[in-house]
Amino acid sequence: MKVNFLSKGEIEKEVSNIIIDEIKNNPSCVLGLATGSSPLGVYQRLIDAYRSNMVSFKDVTTFNLDEYMGLDEYDINSYHYYMNHNLFNHIDINKDNIHIPNGFVKTDEEAVLYDDEILKAGGIDVLLLGLGKNGHIGFNEPYTSFSSLSHITCLSEQTINDNARFFDDVKKVPSRANTMGLKSIMNAKKIILIVLGCNKIDAVNELLNDEISVKWPCTILKKHLNCTVFIENVIIDSIF
C-alpha cells in the first residue's frame, strides 16, 4: 500500500489524472466509484476534463460501491441521484454502462448478483474509495467479514450520525444499505483511497500501523497489491 500526504487540491488533481490516464490507455475501462463528500472535487475535475475534450467516457463502464435501502433515483439523498447530479449528467457516459447497487433488493442472494455483473464486465480496473470515521469502506462496517461479497448491511450508529449531515433529520437516514463486500473491493485491480479532513484520525492510524483487523475494515487494504492512499496533509500534525 502506497501512502501520499498531499493538500486537498493536490489529491483531487492526482486522483483525477490517474482516472483520466486509465481511460486514455483503455477507453473501455471499468471504474468503481464512491459517493460522499471526498470524491466531489475529483468528479468536478473529470467533468472539466470532459468539457475541454481531454477525455471521453462513452465506452467506460462504472460500478458504484453502495446505495441506501429504500431510496430511488429521484430521492435527493440516494446515491443514484448523487451520481447523476455530480457526475453522470455532465459527461458522455452511456447510461447502459452505469451500475449502482439496487436499494430495493430483497435478499443477499439478489444483492450478490452485482458481483456477477462486475465479473461479466471484466472486473474493476480502478476503484475509488472514501473512508468512514469507523474505518468502513463502501458500507462495510466494523466486523464485516473480509470474504464478503455484495450484501445488505445495517449501518452503524456512527455512520448514521455522520451521514445525517446530508439529510434534514437524522431519523430520515436509512438504517440499511446494499454494498459491495470487502472481497468485491479487494478484487479490483487498482484501488485509490481518498481521506480528506481531520475527523478520521483513528481510522488513519489503524490504516498506517501493521495490523489487519475486522474491527477496522479499511485495514484489509494493506493486503492489496496495487492500492494507493491519498491522505490530506492537515492530518499529519494530529498524527505525528
Query: Toward ligand F6R, which CB reaches closer, 65 or 87?
Result: 65
- Least separation, in Å, of the C-beta of 195 and ligand F6R? 8
Catalytic residue, from 134, 163, 178, 187: name it: 134
Q: Which of 66, 125, 141, 232 binds ligand F6R (CB under 6 A)?
A: 66
Residues 10-13: contacts with CB within 8 Å, 24+ apart?
A: 11/41, 11/194, 11/196, 11/230, 11/232, 12/41, 12/42, 12/44, 12/45, 13/45
Active-site residue, 136 included: yes
The residues, any chain, with a CB within 8 Å of residue 85's CB and separated by 6 or more, are none
Query: Toward ligand F6R, which CB reaches closer, 9 or 27?
Result: 9
Beta bridge partners of 63: 32, 99
Active-site residue, 151 included: no
CB under 6 A: which stretch of 9-17, 97-105, 134-142, 223-231 binds ligand F6R? Answer: 134-142
Which grid cell sits at 132? 468512514
Query: Toward ligand F6R, which CB reaches closer, 125 or 232?
Result: 232
- Please tell me the distance from the alpha carbon of residue 69 to that of residue 152, in angstroms, as a whole number: 8
Size of the site for ligand F6R (CB under 6 A): 14
Active-site residue, 141 included: yes
Residue-wise DSSP of 21-76: HHHHH-TT-EEEE--SSTTHHHHHHHHHHHHTTS---TT-EEEESEEETT--TTST
Question: Quick check: 175 and 155 in contact, CB under 8 A?
Answer: yes
Catalytic residue, from 12, 115, 125, 141: name it: 141
- Please tell me the distance from the alpha carbon of residue 123 to that of residue 61, in angstroms, as a whole number: 10
Does residue number 131 form part of the binding site for ligand F6R (CB under 6 A)? yes
In the chain, the amino acid numbered 109 is E
- Least separation, in Å, of the C-beta of 7 and ligand F6R? 17
Phi–psi pair at 207, nearest 5 degrees: -70, -30
CB under 6 A: which stretch of 28-36, 96-104, 149-157, 217-225 binds ligand F6R? Answer: 28-36
Query: Toward ligand F6R, which CB reaches closer, 54 or 239?
Result: 239
Active-site residue, 205 included: no
| Mask for 30-59, x = binds ligand F6R (CB under 6 A) | ----xxxxx---------------------
Q: Which of 41, 130, 135, 217 binds ligand F6R (CB under 6 A)?
A: 130
